[in-house]
Amino acid sequence: MSASPADTQACEECGAAIYPEHLERRTADRWGGKLLCPHCLRGKQLERPAIQHGGPAHRERTYRRPLLVGSPHATRCRAFHGKLSEAGLAHLSEQINEWVDAHDDVEIKFATSSVGVIEGKHAEQHLVVTIFY
């Protein structure tokens, strides 16, 4: 059964058609608040690797509990990581700054950092920055 034009959506990055089966299989999804086609989503995932939690890379989610704006207490956290190299640290800074710019409702309460090994193709030392907001 083919999808009707009313069932399709457009990628907010390139304008390509996104069919319901793309969303069901999660080959198309939201990234940084934008609905992306499978091609653009793959590009973003490769461009900005996220910490794996036993599943697909980090996706924006909607949570039930509201943010505590004006309070010293944090409601949520977001982790970022990058390789321990000059280019890796520059990329990490870019990731964090772009995320903060894209989320006007975020009020950062505090942040922590640690160094550890991230398992992937190769076990490498990474700087992990956790932002509590």
Q: CA triplet 73, 75, 81: central angle to 5 degrees?
A: 105
One domain, residues 103 and 133: yes
pLDDT value at residue 50: 44
One domain, residues 133 and 70: yes
One domain, residues 40 and 99: no
pLDDT value at residue 87: 92
One domain, residues 88 and 30: no
pLDDT value at residue 89: 93
Residue 33 lies in a domain: yes
For 77, the domain range is: 65-133
**Low-confidence residues of the chain: pLDDT under 70:** 1-5, 47-60
Residue 56 lies in a domain: no
Using CB atoms within 10 A of its CB, is residue 100 exposed (0-12), middle (13-18) or buried (19+)?
A: middle
pLDDT value at residue 96: 95
pLDDT value at residue 31: 85
Q: How long a stretch of residues is the chain?
A: 133
Give the chain's domain count.
2
**Rounded CA separation 35/38 (Å):** 10
pLDDT value at residue 57: 52
One domain, residues 41 and 79: no
Written as one letter, the residue type at 55 is G
pLDDT value at residue 62: 73
One domain, residues 28 and 71: no
pLDDT value at residue 41: 86
One domain, residues 69 and 126: yes
